[in-house]
Amino acid sequence: IQLVCFGVRDVEVEFFNSLNKYNFDLTLIEELMNDENVEQCKGADAVMIRGNCKADRSNLTKLAGYGIRYILTRTVGYNHIDLEAAAELELKVARVPAYSPNAISELALNLGINLLRNIPYTTVKTHQKDFTVDAMMFSKEIRKSTIGILGTGKIGLTTAKLFKGLGARVVAYDIYESEAARGIVEYLPLEEVLAISDVVSAHVPHFKGVNDHFINEAFINKMKDGAVLINTSRGEIQDHSAILHAIKENKLSGYGTDVFEGEKDFFFRKLTGEKLDDPVIEELISLYPRVLVTPHIGSYTDEALTNMVEISYDNLHAYLMYGRCENEVPLPEI
C-alpha cells in the first residue's frame, strides 16, 4: 500500500518510519500539499496531509483521478478539506480527533501566563540591560485571576484543568455544555465570560459561514479592560483588524496566537526583512512583546506527533481491513 505523506519536517521523519508497523510503502514529502506537488501522488493508494495542506476541489479531483480513495488528515481540525468535493468524488476522509490535547493546551497556558506576568515585556528590557522595574511589570497572581475558556472540547477542557491547577477561577462558554467539563469549569453565558475574564482562551473549531470572525469588535468590547486574548485554534474565527485596534487602544493588554486567517501564505517560511502581504498581520506582529505569535506549533510536541502519525496509520489500516474507520469525518449528503 503506497502512502504519500505531506508536511513531514526533518524531525518527524524518524517518527513516520519507526511507527510504520503496517509496512506501508511511504513517500515522505516535506512541503505541504499544493497544486504542483500533488502530482507526486500518482500511483499511490492513500494520502496523509496536515493543516494548511491544500485539499480543495481541484486537488481532490486530481487525487481521485489517480485512484486514491483515502485522505488521512493527521489533525483534529478538518476545515482545510473541501468535504463536499470529497463526498462527490467518493473519497473517505479520516482525522485524529485527539492526539494530545495537552500539546495545544500547554501552549495556550504558556502564552497566557507569559502575558499575564508581562514576561516578554520584562525580558526585552533586561535583554537591553535595562534592569529598572516599572509599572508594566506589576502583575496580578494567577490564583486571583479568572480564565475564560471558549469551547470545552478536549483541548478547551485540558486548558481549563491546567489553569485550575494553578488556582485560577475558570469559567467557560460553549454552545454544547459537556458533563465532563461541568466539574471543572463554571459555564456562563458568553457575555459574562467575556466581562469577567482576565484571560480569554479560544478552543473553537472553524465552521465556514457559521463562526467566521466570531472574535470581532463587538466581542472584544464585551471583554474586561486590559484582558489578554489567546487563540490556539483557528485564525478564521478572529477579526485581525479588531484585535489590532484593541491592542493599540489598550483595550487588550496582550494577544497570543498560534494561528492567523491566511497563515498558509507565510507560516513555515523565513521572511525576515520582508513585508507580509497582509498589512494588519504585519502590524500585529510588530507589536511584540504585547503580541506573541507562534507559527502553528500547538501540535509540535513528541507526544502529539507520535499519536498523529500512529492514529493516522491505524485509520488507514481500519479502512483497508474493515472498510470503515471510527475516526471518519462525516461528509455532507450529495
Residues carrying an active site annotation: 234, 263, 296
Closest distance of CB 169 from ligand COI, Å:
28
Cell of 225: 479592560
Cβ atoms 127, 105 nearer than 8 A: no
Choice between 77 and 262, CB closer to ligand COI? 77
Cβ atoms 197, 143 nearer than 8 A: no
Q: Which residue's CB comes closest to ligand COI? A: 51
Choice between 75 and 312, CB closer to ligand COI? 75
Cell of 95: 482525522
Closest distance of CB 51 from ligand COI, Å:
2
State the CB neighbour count (10 A cutoff) for residue 90.
10
Choice between 51 and 112, CB closer to ligand COI? 51
DSSP element (H, E) containing 3: strand 2-6
Which runs of E-coded beta strand occur in 120-272? 146-150, 169-173, 186-187, 199-202, 227-231, 252-257
Choice between 76 and 247, CB closer to ligand COI? 76
d(CA 16, CA 138): 46
Which segment (19-27, 71-79, 282-290, 326-334) binds ligand COI by CB under 6 A? 71-79
Cα Rg, the chain, nearest whole Å: 21
Interface residue with ligand COI among 63, 85, 296, 305 (CB under 6 A) is 296
Closest distance of CB 133 from ligand COI, Å:
38
Interface residue with ligand COI among 299, 307, 312, 315 (CB under 6 A) is 299
How remote is the C-alpha of 295 from its chain's centroid?
10
Closest distance of CB 317 from ligand COI, Å:
20
Choice between 166 and 297, CB closer to ligand COI? 297
Choice between 105 and 299, CB closer to ligand COI? 299
How remote is the C-alpha of 227 from its chain's centroid?
21
Which segment (69-77, 120-128, 240-248, 271-279) binds ligand COI by CB under 6 A? 69-77
d(CA 74, CA 90): 20
Phi, then psi, of 255 in degrees rounded to 5: -145, 125
Closest distance of CB 81 from ligand COI, Å:
11
Let me know if 76 is exposed, middle or buried by CB neighbors in 10 A (0-12, 13-18, 19+): buried
Cβ atoms 171, 146 nearer than 8 A: yes
Considering the rule CB under 6 A, would residue 231 count as an interface residue with ligand COI?
no
Choice between 41 and 49, CB closer to ligand COI? 49
DSSP element (H, E) containing 292: strand 291-293
Interface residue with ligand COI among 8, 71, 75, 154 (CB under 6 A) is 75
Considering the rule CB under 6 A, would residue 203 count as an interface residue with ligand COI?
no
Residues binding ligand COI: number (CB under 6 A): 7
Side chain identity at residue 83, one-letter code? L
Let me know if 298 is exposed, middle or buried by CB neighbors in 10 A (0-12, 13-18, 19+): buried
Closest distance of CB 71 from ligand COI, Å:
14
Considering the rule CB under 6 A, would residue 122 count as an interface residue with ligand COI?
no
Judged by CB under 6 A, the chain residues 37 through 56 that form the site for ligand COI are 50-51
Which segment (57-65, 70-78, 86-94, 118-126) binds ligand COI by CB under 6 A? 70-78
Instruction: Give residues in contact with ligand COI (CB under 6 A).
Output: 50-51, 75-77, 296, 299
